[in-house]
Amino acid sequence: MIFRNFIVTFISSILLVSQANAEAPLIPAPPQLAASAYILLDAKSGKILVEKNSDERVPPASLTKMMTSYIAVEEVQRGNVGLNDEVLISEKAWRMPGSRMFIEVGKKVKVEDLLRGIIIQSGNDASVAMAEHVAGSEAGFADLMNQYVSQMGMTNTHFMNATGLPSADHYASARDLAVLAERTINDHPDYYGIYSEKVFTFNGIEQPNRNRLLWRDATVDGLKTGHTNEAGYCLVASAKKDGMRLISVVLGTRSEEARARETQKLLNYGFRYFETMSLYEAGAELTRNPLWKGLQDQVSLGVLEDIVITVPRGSRKLVEAKLEVDSIIEAPVTQGQELGQLKITLNGETLVEKPLLALKAVEEAGFFARLWDSIKLFFIGLFGS
């Protein structure tokens, strides 16, 4: 069964070094927050560092507007909506209660201004105006929102409106909101900067961003606050430090100050005790192995996605990579063909397990070259070497 055997290769590099005498760093228990639900994760690796009731369905309040603004930017990027498009403000949008941008019925407002009104001022009026412009009605926009919910795999979220005002069957979870935040950051990098803007003035009225951490912590650059009596005070935040980006979601606190304070606890814990390691880039050659019966005598293997992990700070030397490669590889080989596995471990725990793939296709050699390799393989199989 030599053709089904694996050969094991250990990789040593600046990033991946096994040291038997190294000790695992000590990590304290995560902070317990005065919040009904929360989650903290590394945006690059997806590693969850802290969570409590993260799948519980709760009213999301104005955190709903993250999806409203996400869809608006998607429409802009697809060319369906222009930033300079002028939106005629309906009476429904003008009459919206709660936080407002103070747009006026019958007037026209640019999409770009509405976008800032949604993100910075948390305007319910701006949200409804945008929804009507994109989908014709808020109800139609809510249907679009839920299509995105399904596409993003947000299994504990359902939207009934574009604002987050209380409504039956309108809910989200901390985990799902973290997914939406990650998509906002990664899918719309050219627009994400709006979330860090501290002030927006429209119609002569200046309003500050309600995310207090934008003033307190230079690493924080977004995202969104929310509040209703049912939801409590909520905050989805993101911060970047030393190449590490964290996303936190804190739901159901008692005050504006509490949501900022409890979020800060999570972010401080994540940055202090964990670090992000970017190990391999997509398409990078990790190993080159012998190839039989091919036009080339070797095949390059790697992964087709970036490999990023999150580990306790100070444990880099304990991270180990192991390649398990098919012992006999024969042409033809197709690009992307699975020929082994990559395993990343820390203290015996598997952090990543990905298929090792052929980075390039290799065609079969001619008849006599294949025949000669077949003879050599026969004797290898016969004598086991």
**Choosing from 69, 99, 122, 300, which is the catalytic residue?**
122
Tell me whether residue 238 is one of the annotated catalytic residues: no
Our measurement of the distance from residue 332's CA atom to the centroid of its chain's CA atoms, rounded to an integer in Å, reads 37
Q: Half-sphere exposure of 191 toward its Cβ, with a 13 Å CA cutoff?
A: 22
Our measurement of the distance from residue 227's CA atom to the centroid of its chain's CA atoms, rounded to an integer in Å, reads 24
Number of other residues whose CB lies within 10 A of the CB of residue 337: 17
CA distance 89 to 350: 55
**Residues whose CB is less than 8 angstroms from the CB of residue 28 and which lie 6 or more positions away in sequence, other chains included:** 273
**The residue count for the chain:** 385
φ/ψ of 269, rounded to 5, equals -60, -45
**Choosing from 45, 54, 62, 69, which is the catalytic residue?**
62
CA angle 215, 218, 220 (to 5 degrees): 85
On whether the CB atoms of residues 71 and 183 are closer than 8 A, the answer is no
**Choosing from 44, 65, 224, 293, which is the catalytic residue?**
65
Number of other residues whose CB lies within 10 A of the CB of residue 287: 17
Tell me whether residue 385 is one of the annotated catalytic residues: no
Q: Which residues pair with 86 in a beta bridge?
A: 110
Containing H/E element for 23?
none
CA distance 236 to 65: 11
The type of residue at 183 is R
CA distance 355 to 304: 9
Q: Which of 203, 211, 196, 60 is nearest to 125 (CA)?
A: 203
Tell me whether residue 122 is one of the annotated catalytic residues: yes
* Catalytic positions, written as ranges: 62, 65, 122
